[in-house]
Structure 1
Amino acid sequence: MENTQSKSQTPLYEDVARQIIEMIDNGTLPVGSRAPSVRSLAVQLKVSVSTVVAAYRLLEDQGRLQPRPQSGFYVRALRRENVEEPLMSRPPETASAVTVGDLRLLLLTEFGQPGIIGLGASNGAVSDWSIKAVHSLMSSISRSQPLLSASYPPPAGMATLRRQVARWYIRAGCKLSPDDIVITCGALEAIHLCLRAVTQPGDAVALESPTYWGILQTVEMLGLKALEIPTHPRTGPSLDALEVVFSQKLVKAIVLIPSAHNPLGSIMPEENRRQLVAMVRKADIPLIEDEIYADLVFEPPRPRSCRSFDEGPSSQSHVMVCGGVSKTVAPSLRIGWCIPGKWVKEVTRMKAWLNIAAPTLPQLALAQFMDEGGYDRHLRKVTSIYRRQVERMSELIAEHFPRDTRITRPQGGFLLWVELPEIMDSVTLHDRAIQKGVSICPGVVFSATGKYRNCIRINCGLLWTPEVERAIPTLGKLIAELIEAHQNAATEPGYDATQC
């Protein structure tokens, strides 16, 4: 190293930094991995500790490494400087019916097909350790308590799980009783029950734009209308727009995903949550808060639930919280919950009439998993994995997609929202991609009005394999071919740009 410095006349720390960059670029140090410790690298390269520190600081300034307190330096994704975030959305200002259910059903069918890379799905890779632990608990419980595990639970759910959920929500700033909680068959059923409790067919509900297509489908099933709210990809819905909606009494309820939003990955600032709760209380409008991704935020602490800002007795709360473990442990467990506030009796009654109760055995196993600390350990592990994979996927998209592509910067979860050039039709891209064995989620399913046709949602939570990594260059090539086809068509006689 000393000889290299004398010949090149470059500072020694720059040579060390260059070697680190080479290891990053050739895949020896992948995005999200921990760089060698300062002392170990100093020994390996036969340089001083101060030289390695200077090299790491240079790479930090260049955006190649990210320091983490008491942990070391980690490799960051290198995005192109011209890859920007999407802007605040601008949906129509009137409520509309939701009528794109057929495409969503097709997507659900594709996600589970063997041989398809499910980049359009919204499920993370199931951890072998966590699901084996839960299955082991179910097996043990079914042997030790066969009659209990095979019987109907109360409509509100098993008391053991409701206690664990109440304890867990202390982290979200909520003081809950087990009696405040209703266990459901997934978080989407919780949203369905909450909407049924506070609306009638024909009513309008306020939603973020874009928003999770499952919420839109629920709105459609209940015969409701959707009023889309302008939404920022980092901070969530516009409070100014909601103030107008509330003052004009345009909606009967509002459904939001404040933490690690699907599909944007945004996290609503704490002060915005406080203001929003004050607004819904003043307008006497229920807020249905979807917290399904809240436990997967990248930077601790976990965000406070909007519910935590609704002071007073739980029986008078205007905030109805919905959550579950489909995105954190495994979707097959089909365990969710809702905290319906002042509508708890109505939601419990509807749950009983709908399907009596959620399955007993998974409830008992999940309660024990949480009680023994398994859920907490699992979350710390998978959140770190998802963060690295989001960064890696962002890097691949920046490399292989058109230069004017916009990409969100998720603050949690495992989803990316990608805005392609305006001439792109994501439904056509979906049709082409599925022929190549890659499933994507077209942007139109995230809007009641068919917006976002040039956008797609990408799942970064799959088990990372060479096939998953190759899927992005495949999509990039398809996008380039479609853009070229549009450009060639534009030179043909009779070309109509409105048909693109």
Structure 2
Amino acid sequence: MGNNKDSSFSYQAVYRYLVELIETGDSTSEQKLPSLRQLALRLNVSVSTTKYAYSLLEDEGRIYARPKFGYFTKAMQLPRLNEGSPNLLDNVFANARQPGMLALSSDAPAMLLSLESPLLMIERELTRQYPRTHAPLYQPFGEPELRSAIADRYTRSAHCYWQAEHVYVGSDLRSVLELSLEALDLKGSVALVESPCSWAILRQLQAARIRVIELPLGEDGRFNLADLQDLLRREPVGLAVLSSTVNIPQGTLMPAQDKQQICRWLAERDIWLFENDSYGEFCFSPQPPRYRDFADPEKLLVFSTFDKIIGSEAPYGYLLCRRHGLSLHRLFLERAFRLSPIRQKAIAKLFSSRRIDQHLVVLRAMLLDRMQRMRGLLHEYAEGQLRVTAPDGGVTFWIEAVRPVDMRRVFERLLARRIVIAPGEIFSLHGAWRHCLRLSYTVDWSKDIAQALKSLVQAIADEDQRP
């Protein structure tokens, strides 16, 4: 802590210290924590700073105060297998959010490096510039500055261009996708998706009563084009939902010629292309091919979210679409998103100042470094047991057990060790990929990741040997 007792951010360091102290202790029984004065002396901060850090943990329900005795941790029971929702995806996310769990299932790049501090600083500056009114006006499609910044960023040529009027900003990705499917009259239609596929997309398509056809990707990240062509001839596909650069969650990069051919077939059949650009900026190779480079711009919708790059303080989703402007306008007006105007203006500043680009250079380098570090650990502890697809970008490995093992049961075994993985079957609506898992390298690297991987390999071996 040094001698910087007056730092306004000291409480954050104290908070992190306490979280680590709690998580390294015995979580199954109550533990007494240092008193406010003891902790202040230990960390060389003020008592008010330690008190504020304790109050944060108390608000989170992780500790409680016992009058005249001090602060104590709350005992946490080990997660019970199959407790709560029978849905595996719900169980994965519920357990990943529990205190003290090591989530190897994360898919958040901003965990390594976020732009939340610059964003909030810009927001404070803008708050002083824009006087408050008694009745703040909310722009139904997003703040003009932000819509213009997004349009500028996605414009690449006279053919591949966007205007601010083509951009719509919503509260989150789920809402944006829901309104898109309704505006384009795609509810109840047939969708083609790459498989494995983002669970968030699968859930949204399912909610829209859309029949989903999953086309598997090979280990090289490519479709069997003959199978795809045959499928398009047989099935009344209304939309295709595909990752812009690296396939999510597999992490491989499809060649440009394949994407060009796919876009040609989609255009011939008047099929909408929904391009998922949520991880489009996280490819390790420069200038990767994107579907939108080859797609019919009149049958293209691009969607993404800010939080993957900026962090959780920017949860908004957005889309770009040239067609059906009247329908999109009507639905966004009906939904009446009340999004912070100042926060949106601050995000626009991050784009217009090129701060986003500087940040992405550093973040991609960090992701590549963590990927290589995780790959080294996998090679050391899991050689011969796991088949690992080397990612071309993104934030995760796609891994398959060499011998068929049900990863749902491996997930259940690891819960007892407070480790959460993402079994492969949550990335399919049809029960595919049961012997696979998605493993993130955007994890808390202050933890013993090597030991966690040893536990993962041991759980797979134990499950393989189960009678």
Match of 1:440 among 404, 417, 421: 421
The Cα of 1:150 is off from its aligned counterpart by 8.2
Is residue 2:358 matched to residue 1:401?
Answer: no
Q: Report the counterpart of residue 223 of structure 1 in structure 2.
A: 209
The Cα of 1:357 is off from its aligned counterpart by 5.1
The Cα of 1:404 is off from its aligned counterpart by 4.0
Distance change in 2, residues 1:106/1:175 (3 Å) = same
Structure-to-structure mapping, 1:80-479, within 5 angstroms: 102-126=87-111, 130-147=115-132, 151-170=136-155, 174-301=160-287, 303-310=288-295, 317-356=298-337, 358-401=339-382, 403-479=384-460
Distance change in 2, residues 1:200/1:129 (3 Å) = closer
Structure-to-structure mapping, 1:6-17, within 5 angstroms: none
Structure 2 CA distance, aligned partners of 1:452 and 1:467? 28
Distance change in 2, residues 1:174/1:190 (3 Å) = farther
- 2:109 touches 2:308 (CA, 8 Å); kept in 1? yes
- 2:114 touches 2:309 (CA, 8 Å); kept in 1? no
The Cα of 1:128 is off from its aligned counterpart by 5.8
- 1:235 touches 1:268 (CA, 8 Å); kept in 2? yes
- 1:206 touches 1:255 (CA, 8 Å); kept in 2? yes
Distance change in 2, residues 1:416/1:355 (3 Å) = farther
Q: Secondary structure at the match of 2:115?
A: helix
Structure 2 CA distance, aligned partners of 1:256 and 1:150? 41
Structure 2 CA distance, aligned partners of 1:479 and 1:165? 44
Give the partner amino acid of 1:370. F
**How many corresponding residue pairs?**
382
**TM-score for the superposition, normalised by structure 1:** 0.71
Q: Secondary structure at the match of 1:307?
A: helix
The Cα of 1:319 is off from its aligned counterpart by 1.1
Can you list the C-alpha shifts for 1:45-71, whole angstroms capped at 9, x where unaligned? xxxxxxxxxxxxxxxxxxxxxxxxxxx
Which ranges in structure 2 are unaligned for 5 or more consecutive residues? 1-84
The Cα of 1:127 is off from its aligned counterpart by 5.3
Give the partner amino acid of 1:300. P
- 1:288 touches 1:319 (CA, 8 Å); kept in 2? yes
- 2:112 touches 2:366 (CA, 8 Å); kept in 1? no
Distance change in 2, residues 1:114/1:146 (3 Å) = farther
Can you list the C-alpha shifts for 1:161-206, whole angstroms capped at 9, x where unaligned? 1111112113598311111111123334333332233345542211
Structure 1 CA distance, aligned partners of 2:450 and 2:300? 41
Structure 1 CA distance, aligned partners of 2:341 and 2:326? 21
Structure 2 CA distance, aligned partners of 1:176 and 1:370? 16
Structure 2 CA distance, aligned partners of 1:238 and 1:164? 37
Structure 2 CA distance, aligned partners of 1:462 and 1:171? 34
Structure-to-structure mapping, 1:28-47, within 5 angstroms: none
Give the partner amino acid of 1:287. L
Give the partner amino acid of 1:234. D
- 2:116 touches 2:313 (CA, 8 Å); kept in 1? no
Q: Secondary structure at the match of 1:160?
A: helix
Q: Report the counterpart of residue 498 of structure 1 in structure 2.
A: none
Give the partner amino acid of 1:213. W
- 1:259 touches 1:267 (CA, 8 Å); kept in 2? yes
Distance change in 2, residues 1:129/1:446 (3 Å) = closer
Worse-matched range after superposition: 132-141 or 342-351: 342-351
Can you list the C-alpha shifts for 1:80-125, whole angstroms capped at 9, x where unaligned? xxxxxxxxxxxxxxxxxxxx99222222222322211111121124
Structure 1 CA distance, aligned partners of 2:236 and 2:264? 18
Distance change in 2, residues 1:332/1:235 (3 Å) = same
- 2:381 touches 2:457 (CA, 8 Å); kept in 1? yes
Structure 1 CA distance, aligned partners of 2:277 and 2:224? 19
Q: Secondary structure at the match of 1:333?
A: coil
- Cα RMSD after superposing both structures: 2.4
Q: Secondary structure at the match of 1:234?
A: coil
Worse-matched range after superposition: 290-299 or 263-272: 263-272
Distance change in 2, residues 1:242/1:444 (3 Å) = same
The Cα of 1:370 is off from its aligned counterpart by 1.2
Structure 2 CA distance, aligned partners of 1:484 and 1:443? 20
The Cα of 1:217 is off from its aligned counterpart by 0.7
- 1:289 touches 1:306 (CA, 8 Å); kept in 2? yes
- 1:127 touches 1:329 (CA, 8 Å); kept in 2? no
Distance change in 2, residues 1:142/1:233 (3 Å) = farther
More helix as a share of residues: 1
**TM-score for the superposition, normalised by structure 2:** 0.76
- 1:258 touches 1:267 (CA, 8 Å); kept in 2? no
- 1:291 touches 1:321 (CA, 8 Å); kept in 2? yes
The Cα of 1:356 is off from its aligned counterpart by 2.7
- 2:396 touches 2:441 (CA, 8 Å); kept in 1? yes
